[in-house]
Amino acid sequence: MKNLKLAAMETPTRTIVNVAGVEVGKDLVVIAGPCSVESEEQTLATARAVREAGADLLRGGAFKPRTSPYSFQGLGLRGLKILEQARKETGLPIVTEVIDPRDVSWVAEFADVLQIGTRNMQNFALLKEVGQAKKPVLLKRGMYSTLEEWLNCAEYILSEGNPDVILCERGIRTFESYTRNTLDLSAVPAIKELTHLPIIIDPTHSTGRVSLIGSMSLAAVAAGADGLIIEVHNNPAAALCDADQALTPEMFSEDMRKIRALKQFFETLS
């Protein structure tokens, strides 16, 4: 791919992104938690449950990029403080989204991974800012973007001096409307041909349906993904954001059992 200097697959060494001791790109890493931080009670209950089920990192948005300006926008600083408390209690490092270049430096003081959402993939001012942050970045694929456009966005971050980029396929827009998006699983082996950066799969936003998340998680593992990011809520019916796609802790725990078993099976093959 032309224009790629740092993201291109030129060296045989794959990037392993160290997130507070969790190595993304080495073993399968599972990130789980609510779409958004809603309260201390909701976040802590969900954090405890996902840790119990074996998640490696906790996700939760304090800044939500919502389609409507009237939808819940997140708790901001208060949400970050709740995440900090959840990390203290569970030991799980935190993945949280940043949507405004002006917020990057102070959000980075709370986050272990800065998430760039699909709607901001080509927000170049934001990419440059996280490129200067001293924290790993989870770069979601734009819902209308090609692999080449996505990798050029990773290049923006790398070229600012931040080597720790994790790519995340979260589904793209197609004519299909049964699922929220269409999960492009072929992105996993394709990205591995094109770049040394790790890639994880988001089975939640790509399907938008609780009933499809388990199968797509297993398919992602089979395709060689370096990890998964899954939305879990202690009480999905009451979720303020993405309620239809959040797993209960029980469902997540059952999926984790299958994910672990499949991973072990693949290890016997290699």
Residues that bind ligand PEP (CB under 6 A): 35, 61, 65, 117-119, 140, 170, 202, 205
CB of 141 to ligand PEP, least distance (A): 8
The nearer residue to Mn ion, 35 or 147, going by C-beta atoms, is 35
- Smallest distance, Å, CB 6 to Mn ion? 29
Could you list the residues that contact Mn ion (CB under 5 A)?
35, 242
Both tokens of 159, joined, read: 């070229």
Give the pairing of strands 113-116 and 29-33.
Answer: unpaired
For residue 148, CA distances in Å to 1, 2, 16, 80, 250 come to 7, 9, 21, 33, 38
CB-nearest residue to Mn ion: 35
Reference 242, options 209, 200, 203, 195; nearest CA is 209
Report yes or no: 56 and 22 within 8 Å, Cβ to Cβ.
yes
- Decide whether 131 or 203 has the Cβ nearer to ligand PEP: 203
Rounded to a whole number of angstroms, the minimum distance from the CB of residue 110 to ligand PEP is 17
Considering Cα of 226, then 17, then 253, then 80, what sign does the dihedral take?
Answer: negative
Q: Which residue has the tokens 């600012």?
A: 160
As measured in angstroms, the least distance from the Cβ of 229 to ligand PEP is 7
Of 25 and 61, which CB lies nearer to ligand PEP in the complex structure? 61
Q: Which of ligand PEP, Mn ion, none lies near 140, with the C-beta cut-off 5 to 8 A by kind?
A: ligand PEP
Look at residue 118 and give the partner it binds from ligand PEP, Mn ion, none, a contact being a CB closer than 5 to 8 Å depending on partner kind: ligand PEP
Residue 166 CB, shortest distance to ligand PEP, in Å, is 13
- Chain CA centroid to CA 245, Å: 15
Q: What is the distance, to the nearest Å, from the Cα of residue 221 to the centroid of all Cα atoms in its chain?
A: 15
**Quick one: 184 or 262, whose CB is closer to ligand PEP?**
184
In this structure, the chain runs to a length of 270
Do the beta carbons of residue 240 and residue 66 sit within 8 Å? no
* Chain residue whose CB lies nearest ligand PEP: 117
Listed in sequence order, the DSSP H helices in 108-202 are 124-131, 147-159, 187-194
CA 30 to CA 56: how far, in whole Å?
Answer: 5
| H/E run at residue 253 | helix 249-269
Q: At closest approach, how far in Å is the CB of 119 from ligand PEP? A: 6
Q: How far is the CB of 36 from ligand PEP (least distance, A)?
A: 7
170 binds, among ligand PEP, Mn ion, none (CB under 5 to 8 A by kind): ligand PEP
Structure tokens at 12: 């045989």
